[in-house]
């Protein structure tokens, strides 16, 4: 198992844990003491940064999956069914890794959004969606940077 595969699994487990804690926070059962409104800006930067990092990891994992796919397809004794299966499996793995790496920062933002008191500033509630902005910006940045 490569380090990126381990990072993908860790991201998925982090997403599940933070999603459950965020759900509990939405029901009024906060894990942290209520955060002050002034903490919203630094937390926004943190969750956008986590989205950027997740996009970078997702892109690198996708490149790793592509290398494996084409290495497997170079085998001369593969049947057409096995080649088709290799392509489908690689696409499934790419979608799963992208989902895992996107979900972790989204659940971080979701969790943090519910750690503010009721009636918190809209900026605090926006924490639930801003990791998506970081992820999209990270994907665009990685695309512009070119292949690994």
Contacts of 90 (CB under 8 A, 6+ apart): 65, 66, 68, 69
Other residues' Cβ atoms within 10 Å of the Cβ of residue 87: 13
Q: Rounded mean pLDDT of the chain?
A: 90
Residues 6 or more apart in contact with residue 143 via CB below 8 angstroms: 59
For the full predicted model, state whether its pTM sits above 0.85. yes
Q: What is the mean pLDDT of residues 103-125?
A: 90
Least confident of 46-55, 70-79, 100-109, 136-145: 70-79
């Amino acid at each position: 198992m490569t380090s990126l595969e381990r990072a993908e699994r860790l991201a998925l487990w982090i997403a599940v844990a933070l999603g459950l804690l965020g759900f509990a926070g939405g029901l009024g059962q906060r894990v942290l003491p209520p955060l002050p409104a002034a903490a919203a800006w630094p937390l926004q930067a943190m969750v956008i940064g986590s989205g950027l990092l997740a996009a970078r990891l997702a892109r690198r994992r996708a490149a790793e999956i592509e290398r494996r796919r084409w290495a497997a397809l170079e085998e001369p004794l593969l049947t057409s069914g096995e080649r088709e299966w290799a392509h489908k499996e690689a696409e499934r793995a790419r979608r799963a890794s992208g989902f895992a790496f996107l979900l972790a920062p989204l659940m971080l933002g979701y969790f943090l959004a519910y750690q503010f008191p009721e009636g918190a500033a809209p900026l605090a509630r926006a924490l639930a969606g801003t990791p998506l902005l970081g992820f999209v910006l990270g994907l665009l940045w990685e695309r512009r940077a070119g292949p690994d």
